[in-house]
Amino acid sequence: MEIFHWIGLKAVSGVGSVMFRRLLERFDTPDAALDALCAGFSDLRGITAAVIESARSGEWKRFAEAECRKIEECGARLITFTDAAYPKSLFEIPDPPPFLYLRGSIPGHACAVAIVGSRRATSYGILVTNRLAGELAGRGVTVVSGMARGIDTAAHKGALAAGGPTIGVLGCGIDLVYPPENKKLFSEMAEKGCLVSEFPLGTLPLAENFPRRNRIISGFSRGVLVVEAAEKSGSLITAQYALEQGRDVFAVPGSIAVHSCRGSNRLIKQGAKLVDCVEDILEELPGFTPGLTSLQTATVTRPPFSLTPKEAALYELLARSPLHIDGIISQSELTAGEVSSMLLHLELKGAVTQLPGAHYTIS
């Protein structure tokens, strides 16, 4: 089973997301990479004696066997970064996960907006979030949030009530319901929306998981809307990720007398776009035409495409910024011939575009 080796390689101590992708760039498949580590391969930056010893111990086999059983039992599945369904926008974020645990189906089109905010939301914040999420979903925009209490929950419920697409990104294992009062919402998301997590099954919702989770929320999205965030809020971390990833940042103005609005109000002071109606968001999205009832009718969507591990390595480089072909060769583990061949294949897939002067960028 292919996912067995994907899970197993990630479970080797010392193999993080970056090392995982480098190993696949060199060896093409996780099972070949594991064989190489077990044989003592160390000709790659970051591979230490401890990594080789961890691979040889076989502990990753026991973990992967147990994880595969649990995936089947909880009705989840795994999508890897080579899969056509893997969101290509995640290649633009720092340290994109090699695979995601998934329940439900990721919406096929690329236009998404994240809505995040306080867990201790006011009734005004809940009302506004529910309305804006519903109006976005009604226009065909995917609503992304983190399944937390307060604003996140209101965002998902608003999108579902409008019959639109929504994605919940978890800071725990996809087999755990957190917060527990959202059990019904979790079931509805798995059936009508989508739940994703990069964390192994059974991972508890620990505080350190959520900042890491937030980069995926913004990575899925064209922009991030903040509704009611305190001055040291996790929602502001998501907004910061969005800025670093070149996404738009929006904020709903709140009462100056409410502590949970200070962070979102400060974002507006710092240049986030003030939102008091859904058109304020829509007009920043590609394909928006005033008067159309659905954003999708004006948006040309790319057909999904799969990638080989080596193609994924090139795609990730180009997702960060356009590069000259010489820069691609120097920053990859590939030969000039391999790079030229793969760039041609990626162009044929519609994944990359050649610019003047032998520069390349993602389409």
Of 151-160, 227-236, 262-271, 342-351, where does the model show the most confidence? Answer: 151-160
Residues 140 and 42 in one domain: no
The answer as to whether 93 is a domain residue is: no
Last residue of a domain, one of 298, 327, 342: 298
State pTM to two decimals.
Answer: 0.90
State the pLDDT at residue 291: 62
299 pLDDT tier (thresholds 50, 70, 90): very low
Residues 293 and 319 in one domain: no
Whether residue 290 has pLDDT greater than 80: no
The answer as to whether 211 is a domain residue is: yes
Residues 238 and 258 in one domain: yes
Q: 201: exposed, middle or buried (C-beta count within 10 Å: 0-12, 13-18, 19+)?
A: buried
Which range among 100-104, 110-114, 165-169, 262-266 shows the weakest confidence by mean pLDDT? 110-114
Residues 174 and 250 in one domain: yes
- DSSP letter at 228? S
Q: Where are the alpha helices (DSSP H) in 39-150?
A: 49-57, 59-74, 123-138
How many separate domains does the chain show? Answer: 3
Residues 184 and 328 in one domain: no
Q: What does the alpha-carbon distance between residue 320 and residue 316 come to, in Å, rounded to a whole number?
A: 7
Q: What is the CATH number of the domain that holds 149?
A: 3.40.50.450
State the pLDDT at residue 303: 67
Last residue of a domain, one of 242, 274, 298: 298
**Domain boundaries, position 196:** 103-298
352 pLDDT tier (thresholds 50, 70, 90): very high
The answer as to whether 155 is a domain residue is: yes
pLDDT tens sequence across 121-180: 999 999 999 999 999 999 999 999 999 999 999 999 999 999 999 999 999 999 999 999
The answer as to whether 96 is a domain residue is: no
- Torsion over CA: 275, 278, 280, 282 (sign): positive
pLDDT tens sequence across 23-35: 998 898 999 999 9
Residues 65 and 148 in one domain: no
pLDDT tens sequence across 167-197: 999 999 999 999 999 999 999 999 999 999 9
Number of H helices, E strands in the chain: 15, 12
Residues 284 and 224 in one domain: yes
Last residue of a domain, one of 245, 277, 298: 298
Residues 68 and 134 in one domain: no
